Amino acid sequence: MEQFSIERSLRKTLSMSFRQKKLVIKAPFFVTKKVINDFVLKHQWWIESQIEKQKESKIDETKISEYKKQAKQYIIPRVALLANKYGFQYNCIKITSAKSRWGSCTSAKNLNFSYRLVLTPPEVIDYVIIHELCHLRYMDHSKNFWNEIKSIMPEYKIHDDWLKKNAYMYR
């Protein structure tokens, strides 16, 4: 891979990911360019596999407005139902075009969900909704947060794993 961007910070390790179909290397300030290049070469197989997965993307660009409409019709009432069932209070819900997040929760108790979520199985949608609802009580990924999710959805790890394994198809 001849081109990538480097983001340096106070981290301790190297990592790589794709952002808007471009390779991004996160590196500590002290790591040299040669070490970064060696890291990229060592992981060339992974980079190529990610590029292939991006080519296989399932999202038909001409159908995005329809997916957004479906997401509003399904996700918004589903959030209301689950929030009521488990005693969560939120402010508002937005359907976004986010590519790197399935959902998010703000400190103002606003919930955001990517329209891409509507392309996943219903139990995965419920998992993401419950995940974001639990952020209304715990604005972190602490043990208490995960225990809250587990108390509502004991099988949550299956859906979390599904998202990790299949996310590339929806970006």
Give the whole-angstrom CA distance, residue 127 versus residue 116: 14
| DSSP 8-state assignment for residue 80 | H
Instruction: Supply the pLDDT for residue 171.
Output: 64
Is the entire prediction scored with pTM above 0.75?
no
| DSSP 8-state assignment for residue 118 | G
Contact (CB, 8 A) for 83 and 99: no
Residue 1 has pLDDT above 60, yes or no: no
User: Domain-by-domain residue ranges, the chain?
Assistant: 5-55, 61-170
CATH superfamily assigned to domain 61-170: Metalloproteases ("zincins"), catalytic domain (3.30.2010.10)
- Residues 119-147 pLDDT 10s: 899 999 999 999 999 999 999 999 999 99
